[in-house]
Chain A
């Protein structure tokens, strides 16, 4: 199958629903996005944030209130769904119950000029690809959930669409199958190199399979980037909170880091464009924390107060009780200690009273601490991020 990948561009897409009592629901608010050919992009966000609505506007099932949709550079905004050449995998699978598996998979080919032989050949190849050869004459009801999922996938793939659309395709499967299927979807999508949009509210699914992640909230795009970027450089408190687990520490920005210092210079050299290294006071310790270029200016409005994002694995235990290391940035009392085999998870009440979650990935190496112990904490400065307060 030659690559048919097309770019997708959303230009200020807005969708306003008129709910009961003429109340307006803004399901998508000025969504602009460019998706490169062959990329798999996930829309990630809490329930009701407008993921499905945006996806359905790409497929043509909803007419945008304003804005445009481009596929492969062509404006498809006014095209009906059947002329868009997108193929959607529905959450309900939407397999036609009155047709066999084979007829289901071949359905889309009825509307494309394909000879009988080619049709059979394509169905055969796709069924092989999804690992369902020999199931053609079954009724959809005679398949397991995972198999039905594959049929739905095959039915979308066989038409070699310009864009594949997925709306939470795995939410009906159990955890194990979900992991297996997401790898398979990713494998097939890269193999065929088809541009894909994938809607989910499962962040680990998004992290595992996407080229890029679009985090949505209240109908707006909060942040867009590679999985690494959204995880390690969250652009807002919402994104930091929504993706992975996070601690927020209060900080006070005192200025840009002094780059004549060797350590600061080295840290700064790792930063991407648009990011700056700052000096931030956290628990009265002067730490080096990166943030966006404009942060100093934005934080000025709050007399330098910023929010420092610290992932649970970005801090380590630096001694306990009598032997707290002088390297420790802060001390706290352990109120929760849970053993997970691969790691220990601690809940620690810090000076000032806030609870901090810390994950220690080497529980075997050190003597695990227990509830009631006092522990020293050391932050990994390179993994901290400062955000403007209040966002």
Chain B
């Protein structure tokens, strides 16, 4: 590519002098008034973001600091005065920190094993590392209960324990790690692939042992990636509602407490305050990741993945990585199998007679939810894709003042825990001017603005890879802007677009933390139904519902693959 590739990548753009910046924005502003289409688009986008992202968050914040209509910190005082409530704050942070550490470690072993240690069965492990991303919520909880619960296969049947307590921190760490290490893996896989192989070769060539190459070159270059991964998993674990709801037992965490206070006790200010307490660390970690850690990164996508012909690690390390990968893969397969098994036997642990009755029952109670879930997710997906592409296009290709702010606000839906969004939507849209509670539309809108950031990320990443001169060439040869966008830009970003879309469809299908506040009898969501079944310990039905969800997700992926041709990993996209 260019001359100073590896090295210049690392230099950040030096800030422009203030005066010229001011002059630039004035010029931008002027050009904006001359481009009415751009101006209108911008205004509409800003309005949407204000109404459906900022306004709900503001409502939550306001209710928590002004429970009776005027400013008062009494709610927060109460929370921190009650040990059982205050503890949910520290519990959430502790859980987040533990899971971030274990997931990052596991993700790194996977990424390192697959990129550097030349372990066997690589395609299989890659699949296994991505599988949990599409798993329905509660699914691993079900597995853990089926394996380690009162009638658990392992605890009860193999070890004969009858009073093993599966609920608590340990189980949570297990299911969250297994469910969230793919985030770490995806980040670190990208980082390790992007480290130019020449750097490690060069260190080796200068006499460094393989261990020294790792400690002086590979690890320092991967450190920003490790930090990113840690922070992203931390945020994800904080925001997780499904797993702690089922498995936390006495280990109270914020997302669950906020839900219980809000919907169970109808104490809306307290629920809001707990949600805000959840928002603060989540947003902080997200901002640190986005605006500090990721800018310290030395690696950028070079297009040429790292390739080493000779092993970069010793036999022992390679074996270690492979063993860890096997254990993880076997655990994942086992977790999936018991859920499938659980759906086909009468009463897990007591009556193993094969049966279809759970499916029949699940279909009876669930068919309406399935339909509405697919409709809502299906309606949200194209809207998400369209809005995301427009915003991505504005961010990458257009100049206008306040671009950074727009990007930030659009990404907020990503950083804000679902609990906060769910409460915010209830508070914001249950009274005029906009009344949406109880409708399917509120859920669709919630999906759109929560999934939009994923689409924007994908769009920005793929647009940035398209040299503007390609579009300029098309214009230069006589094509209009619209034609160029349709025939040149769109086909080029189509794979990333579809990957982003199918991914956001899956996330809408498996969403729970925000949706749980918004569902109604008429517009129920499969995950809410699964939760209800799990809570009343109808594990067979919950398993059957999970299988329905998996099948729908698989079909969505198959359709996407048909449309795009081959599997396309979402670019620049980090799942929650």
Could you give, for residues 304-319 of chain B, a 1 whenever the CB lies within 8 Å of some chain A CB and a 0 otherwise? 0000111000000000
Decide yes or no whether B395 CB sits under 8 A from chain A.
no
Q: Does B8 contact A (CB under 8 A)?
A: yes
A78-133 residues at the B interface, CB under 8 angstroms: 80-88, 90-98, 107-108, 110-112
A97–B198 contact, CB under 8 A? Answer: no
Cβ–Cβ contact A111 & B221, under 8 A: no
The residues of B that contact A90 with a CB separation of less than 8 Å are 198, 201-202
| A contact face: mostly helix, strand, loop, or mixed | loop
Residues of A within 8 A of B536 (CB): none
Please pick, from B2, B7, B199, B204, the residue contacting A141 in the complex, using a CB distance under 8 A. Answer: B7
By beta carbon, the residue of chain A nearest B207 is: A111
Tell me, yes or no, whether A207 is within 8 Å of chain B by CB: no
Are A97 and B310 interface neighbours, CB within 8 A?
A: no
Query: Given A80-B204, A90-B201, A92-B198, are A173 and B209 also a contact pair (CB < 8 Å)?
Result: no
Q: How far is the CA of A145 from the CA of B205 in the complex (A)?
A: 22
Min CB distance, A370 to chain B, in Å?
38
Q: B202: which A residues are within 8 A, CB to CB? A: 88, 90, 94, 96
Q: Are the CB atoms of A92 and B207 closer together than 8 Å?
A: no
Q: Indicate if the CB atoms of B9 and A97 lie closer than 8 Å.
A: yes
B5 partner residues in chain A, CB cutoff 8 A: 92, 172
CA A207 to CA B267, docked complex, whole Å: 85
| B6 in contact with A94 (CB, 8 Å) | yes
Interface set, chain B 162-201, CB cutoff 8 A to A = 196, 198-199, 201
Given A111-B212, A141-B11, are A98 and B205 also a contact pair (CB < 8 Å)? Answer: no
Interface residues in A138-152 by Cβ distance below 8 A to B read 139-145, 148
Chain B 206-232, CB-CB to A under 8 Å as 1, else 0, gives 111110110011001100000000000
A178–chain B nearest beta-carbon distance, Å = 12
Residue interface mask B524-543, A partner, CB < 8 A = 1:
00000000000000000000
* CB-CB under 8 A for A111 and B310, given A61-B201, A92-B5: no
Q: How far is the CA of A143 from the CA of B216 in the complex (A)?
A: 22
Cα-based distance from A272 to B204 in the complex (angstroms): 44
In the assembled complex, B68 has its CB within 8 A of some CB on chain A: no
Query: What chain B residues lie within 8 Å of A92 (beta carbons)?
Result: 5-6, 196, 198
A95–B198 Cα gap in the complex (Å)? Answer: 9
Take A90-B201, A93-B7, A141-B10 as given contacts and tell me if A159 and B206 are in contact as well, using a CB distance cutoff of 8 Å: yes
Q: Find chain B residues with CB under 8 A from A107 CB.
A: 203, 206, 208, 216
Contact mask for chain A residues 152-172; partner B; CB cutoff 8 A; 1 contact, 0 none: 000110010000000000001
Q: Is the CB of A81 within 8 A of B205?
A: yes
Say which residue of A86, A142, A156, A172 sits within 8 Å of B3 (CB atoms).
A172
Q: B206 contacts A155, CB within 8 Å?
A: yes
A200 at the binding interface (Cβ < 8 Å): no
**CB-based contact B199/A108 at 8 Å:** no
Query: Which A residues touch B2, using CB under 8 A?
Result: 172
A69 contacts chain B at the CB level, 8 A cutoff = no
Contact of A148 among B4, B203, B217 (CB under 8 A): B4
Q: Let me know if A63 is at the binding interface, CB within 8 A.
A: yes
What does DSSP make chain B's interface, helix, strand, loop or mixed?
A: helix
* Whole-angstrom CA separation of A354 from B351 in the bound complex: 93
Tell me if A60 counts as interface (CB < 8 A to partner B): yes
**A205 in the interface (beta carbon within 8 A):** no
Contacting residues of chain B (1-51) with chain A, CB-CB under 8 angstroms:
2-11
- Give the residue of A91, A145, A159 whose beta carbon is less than 8 angstroms from that of B207: A159
- By a CB distance below 8 angstroms, the chain B residues around A81 are 201, 204-205, 310
Asked if B4 contacts A62 (CB within 8 A), the reply is no
By a CB distance below 8 angstroms, the chain A residues around B212 are: 110-111
B residues contacting the other copy or chain, number (CB 8 A): 33
Q: Whole-angstrom distance between the alpha carbons of A95 and B298 in the complex?
A: 12
Contacts of B9 in A (CB 8 A): 97, 141
Contact: A98 with B206, CB < 8 Å? no
Contacts of A172 in B (CB 8 A): 2-5
For residue A45, give the distance in angstroms from its CB to the closest CB of chain B.
20
Whether the pair B298, A94 counts as a contact (CB closer than 8 A) is no
Shortest Cβ gap from B399 to chain A (Å): 26
Interface size (A, Cβ < 8 Å)?
A: 42
> Would you call A59 an interface residue if the criterion is a C-beta within 8 Å of the partner chain's C-beta atoms?
yes
Assembly CA distance A98 to B199 (angstroms): 11
Please indicate the chain B residues that have their CB under 8 angstroms from the CB of A87 in the complex.
Answer: 205-206
CB contacts (< 8 Å) of B205 on chain A: these are 59-61, 81-82, 84, 86-88
Query: In chain A, what residue has the closest Cβ to B220?
Result: A98
CA distance A95 to B310 in the complex (A): 21
Q: How far is the CA of A159 from the CA of B7 in the complex (A)?
A: 22
What A residues does B310 contact at CB under 8 A? Answer: 60-63, 80-81
Q: Are A98 and B298 in contact (CB under 8 A)?
A: yes
Nearest-CB residue, chain B, relative to A86: B205
A299 vs chain B, min Cβ distance (A):
44
Q: For residue B299, which residue of chain A has the nearest CB? A: A97
A60-B206 Cα distance, complex, nearest whole Å: 12
Q: Which residues of A contact B199 (CB under 8 A)?
A: 94, 96
In the bound complex, do residue A61 and residue B309 qualify as a contact, i.e. CB atoms below 8 Å apart? yes
- Contact among A62, A86, A111, A145 for B209, CB-based, below 8 A: A111
- B309 contacts A141, C-beta separation under 8 Å: no
B206 touches A93 (CB 8 A): no
B450 to chain A, nearest CB (A): 36
Query: How far apart are the CA atoms of A87 and B204 in the complex, in Å?
Result: 10
Between A94, A107, A111, the greatest number of chain B beta carbons within 10 A of the residue's beta carbon is seen for A94
B8: chain A residues at CB < 8 Å are: 141
Contacts of B221 in A (CB 8 A): 97-98
Inter-chain contacts of B201 with A (CB < 8 A):
59, 61, 81, 88, 90, 94
The minimal Cβ–Cβ distance linking B303 to chain A, given in whole angstroms, is: 13
Measured in the bound complex, the distance between the Cα atoms of B68 and A337 in whole Å is 94
Residue interface bits A302-316, CB-to-B below 8 A is 1, else 0: 000000000000000
With most chain B CB atoms within 10 A of its CB, the pick from A91, A97, A172 is: A97
Which chain B residue lies CB-closest to A81?
Answer: B204
* Complex Cα gap A312–B220 (Å): 56
Give residues of chain B (323-371) contacting chain A, Cβ–Cβ below 8 Å.
Answer: none
CB-CB < 8 A to A144: which residues of B?
4
The distance in angstroms between the C-alpha atoms of A159 and B11, with both chains bound, is 28
Min Cβ gap B313→A in Å is 12
C-alpha gap A145/B8 in the complex (Å): 9
Q: Which of B140-166 contact A (CB under 8 A)?
A: none
Considering the complex, give the chain A residue whose CB is closest to the CB of B308.
A61
Q: A51 to chain B: closest CB distance in Å? A: 16
Nearest neighbor of A140 in chain B, beta-carbon distance: B7
B510 to chain A, nearest CB (A): 36
Q: Please, how many angstroms separate the alpha-carbon atoms of A156 and B207 in the complex? A: 11
12 CB contacts below 8 A, A to B, read A61-B204, A61-B309, A81-B205, A92-B6, A94-B6, A95-B6, A95-B7, A96-B203, A97-B7, A108-B206, A155-B206, A172-B4
- Given A60-B204, A61-B310, A84-B205, list of 11 further CB < 8 A pairs? A62-B310, A81-B201, A82-B206, A82-B210, A88-B202, A90-B201, A108-B206, A111-B207, A111-B212, A141-B9, A148-B7
The 9 closest A-B pairs by CB, nearest first: A108-B206, A111-B207, A94-B198, A141-B11, A140-B7, A145-B3, A94-B202, A97-B10, A97-B298
Chain A residues engaging chain B, CB cutoff 8 angstroms: 56, 59-63, 80-88, 90-98, 107-108, 110-112, 139-145, 148, 155-156, 159, 172-173
Chain B contacts to A: CB under 8 angstroms: 2-11, 196, 198-199, 201-210, 212-213, 216-217, 220-221, 298, 308-310
